[in-house]
Each structure stands twice: as structure tokens, then as C-alpha cells.
Structure 1
Amino acid sequence: MPVLERDPWRLQYFEHVPCPEHVVIPTDDPDCWLLSPAHRWIYDKLKVAETQALSAGPHGVMPASFPVFSKPVTNLKGMGIGSRVIRSAAEMEHGYAPGHMWMPLLEGEHVSTDCAVENGRVAWLRHATGLAWDGGMFRYWTIHAQAFPGLAAHLAGWVDAHMAGYTGMMNFETIGGTIIEAHLRFADQWCDLYGAGWVEALVRLYAEGRWTFDDSARRDGFSMPLFAHHGHGFAHPPAAVQTEIRTMPGVKSLQVTFHEGKPPQDHAMPPGGFRLAVINATSLDAARAARRRLAAAFDPRLVLSQD
């Protein structure tokens, strides 16, 4: 299967879709960086800021005003590692970190957008927003059926201006319509919620360089995690329980998002909690019902209450 998927719980989306052996579809940023040398510059967040004429600079260059948002210039592992708000010049001096940058502290809606790009032009896109919780966690993500016309136009213009010759998937994170991160991949956590035939269209894009997908039946989807307290080891739920959850009304998929044989501290997780699983569903009620059933398979003293 030529889809490069490092998380085995997401292979379920791709393993039954034929794909030519010579085609390689990345889902992880380190692979994207290796496979796209002409466009890997987008992982330089300082350059991405400069393409939008934002006030930004590396640590060592003092911002003209505060607060600012500080983060690594390049971070291929995600999860917000090393990011924080800096509120004064003294804090900036004390928190100096080589390889980090600052940019404006943005306000507005935080949106994740997947785009299919055909020869430097956006051919399809879909937006998702998360309901933030504590410690870098999200209660759930909504994968919207509705269009975001202003944001879509901004992203299409940016791709047209900066991604000449690129064909493949892209993911953008924006706050208030400003790009904060760009990736040469899609968000593989919820691609099953994009509709029947989407993975086949993905394969066609990489195999033939063209995007064809009937998106007329799109509907809202929901991606809901289950978190537990850090500092504990966990076993996967019994196979019968997993099958039961996957067949519940409205449930599209269940991802058990940790490795049983790997120490908990070696998983990349948000500081607020250890993610046990993700449930994708076509309604919030269906997602919540499935999460409650899944939570019952773990020690209730360790599971974080999210309802």
C-alpha cells in the first residue's frame, strides 16, 4: 500500500483502495519534507509569515511590541511543542531559544483546511474547527459541510502565488484567516468523513495529477477523542468491544491511538492528557454515545470526563 502511514490505526482508511505501486502518498511531515524538495520551504514558519507581510522574526531580534507568539521555526512533529506566548521584552530576553521565532499573537477562529492542489491551483478544500479544552486538548472537531468563502479565497490566492508546479494535498492551519502553518499533506484523522470515493480521488491525484471527486453529498462530520490522565499504561479494548463501537449508528470509524508495547511517555501527546482513541461519526450524539461505550472499557479512575 503506497500510502505512507506511520499510525497503524489509520491504515483502515487506505488498505482496501487500489493504488499503483509507484505512487507514494505521504501523511506525515517528515516524509513530505523528503518527497517534495522544491516546496519543503513551507515548513519554515518564518517564511510563511513573511509571505503574508506579518511582523515576525527570529529570537535575538526584539519585537517592536508585545505580546507575541513564539514557536520553533520548523517543527515536523507537531503537538505545539515549544510554543508559547511572550508578553514582555524581559521575558523575550530570558526565554531566548535558538531556532525559534516570534509572530503576532493572533485572534479569531482556528481552522484546519485540507486542500487538493492540482498544478499549483486549489481544486477542492474542506474546513474543520476544534472545540478547545484544557492543556492543548480538544473536546471534538467539526468537519464542516459549509463553505468558508473568505478563507477559501485567501488560501486559493496564496497557493496560486506560492505553489507553482505542486500537485498533491495540502493542509493549512489559520487563525482569523491568517496562515500559521502549512503542510504538504492532509489531516488523516478524519478523511473518512469526506465522503464515499474521497480516498479514490486522493489516489488519482497522486497517480494521474488530476482531481475528480463528487462532493455534492457532503455533510457535517465529527471527530471526538477520548483522553486519560498521563502517567499510566493502557491496554487496547477487547476486539469485541471495538467491533461493537464501529457498528453503532452514525459511527464511521474508531481509531485506538496508542501503541500497547510503547511506554506512555514515548507517545507524542498534548500536556493535558493521554489520547486513548478517536471516534469519527456523522452526528455529535453518535460520537458521544460511542465514546461513553469506549470509556467503559478502561479504568474509570483514569479516564478524563469530557461530557
Structure 2
Amino acid sequence: MLNADDLIAIDFHTHAEEPCCGPRDDGYDDFQAGMAKYFKNPAGASGMLPSVQQTAEYFRERRIGAVIFPVDAERETGFRRYSNEEVAQIAAENDDILIPFASIDPAKGKAGAREARRLVKEFGVKGFKFHPTMQGFYPNERWAYPLYEAIADEGAIMLFHTGQTGVGSGMRGGMGMRLKYSNPVHVDDVAVDFPDTPIVLAHPSFPWTEEGLMVAQHKPNVYIDMSGWSPKYFPKIFVQYANTILRKKMLFGSDWPAITPDRWLKDFEALDIREEVRPLILKDNARRLLKI
């Protein structure tokens, strides 16, 4: 089992990228090549993205715990999702380092809610990743609430992508991705309606950074993971809040494999963060949130 005392950090945002059930779907290589160009990530461009097992080995070498999840965006992208069960099973085999989250498109309705309950009870899933832009919905749409209710009932965490995305960046029509869905202000309603459920806003929420900070400051159950950007590009106000009133709500996240923790942590060392705040961001806040 994971022993947080042995870790130097907990990465709250890592991806299980590959689809299940065989070879990649048509268009998936182009999608990953676009992501690789956006993040300057050679692994994606070469088509050699790491498996979940390889991810575990990489993080184990660095003594970094990793929250890992697939993204269920079948409806909007046409790409088959990576099986939640498979990701959770591999995480269980590497439970000294991997913390399983899952992903379910809210449009799956009651079937999705049943799946969420089963994943928590039978597979030990700790939280659920939502990507409003990839899944094509506003987080506060009421038809998504049956899934949220199941997650809340099971005591799991909700993690929402916010802000700009590398998905479809530079591709024709942005690969159909609509950025409007990922304004973090839409998560504010979810935080009101599920006040006892931990909610994490992924990324600095650009260009709605201040909206994200606003929601996290105002709602006790809302946190921010700092993934998806190299810390050297963080807006000044984002760093200011991380150093002060949100110091117990900021979480280290890389966005592996698009951004490696090696790169993120190197740039974080140069960031103007108070010494007493660094351990909160790197491990302590995540440990408290995950109850480990």
C-alpha cells in the first residue's frame, strides 16, 4: 500500500492515454500528434506513449505518488475510452505508487451512476475526472447530476478540467472542441449543490484564472491542481494566491505524459513560492484531501 511518508510528492494529475480493446482508433494518432506539438512532448509525436505500468515504474523511481485516470470522451471524439476497470486493476497491482481515479461521460446517465458506484465499491476508485470540453457539457447542467450524486454518495472526489486545452489545439476546427464549457465558474454551482464533496479544478484555468481562484477561495470544498502548465508560465496572481490564502488548497500536478514531473518540479524550484508553502503544494494538501 502507498506510504505517503516515503514519498517526496503526490502528483494529482496523470493520464492513462491508450484506448482499450485493441489498436488505436482512426484519428487518434493525429490527435496525439497535435497534443505532442502543443506540449513539445516527443513521446506523443512518436506514438510511444507510456502504459499505466510504465507510468508506475517511472513514478516509483522518483518516489512520487500519482493520481491516474483515463478520459471518457467517446461521445464527442469517437475514440474508445480506456477501460476504467483496467486502469484500476493495474493501479491496484502498483498500489504503492498509483491512486486510481476513473472517468465517465455524464451523458451515460443512470448507467454511468451505477458504474461510478461499482468502481468505488469494487475497484477502490478514489475520484472521477471530468473534461467539459472533451465531453461537450457545462459542469452545472442538471442532466449531469445523477452521476455527481452517485460520486457524492460514495465519498469520492470530482476533478474538473478547466481553461484552455491542448486537445485539438491547431487542428482543423480545434477537433470540434469547444472551449466555452471549461470556464471554472460553471463548477461553482456544483460546489454549491454538493458542498460536502471535494472538488478539484485542474490547471490554472487560463484565460479564466481569476474565476478559478474566486471559486476555490469562496467554496470550502474546492481545490486547484497546478497541472498542465510549466510553473514558469503561471500568472502572477496565481502564484500570489498559492503563496497566501489558497496555500492549503493548491495541489502539485504535472499532466503526465504531456508534461513530465521532472520538468514541472525543475521549474517549480525556481518559482517564488515560500519555503513553508512548498511541502503543502507538493504533498501535504493532496495527502489530506486523499485521506492517506
TM-score normalised to structure 2 length: 0.25
Higher Rg: 1
Query: Higher RCO, 1 or 2 (CA under 8 Å, sep at least 6)?
Result: 2
Higher helix share: 2
* TM-score, length basis structure 1: 0.24
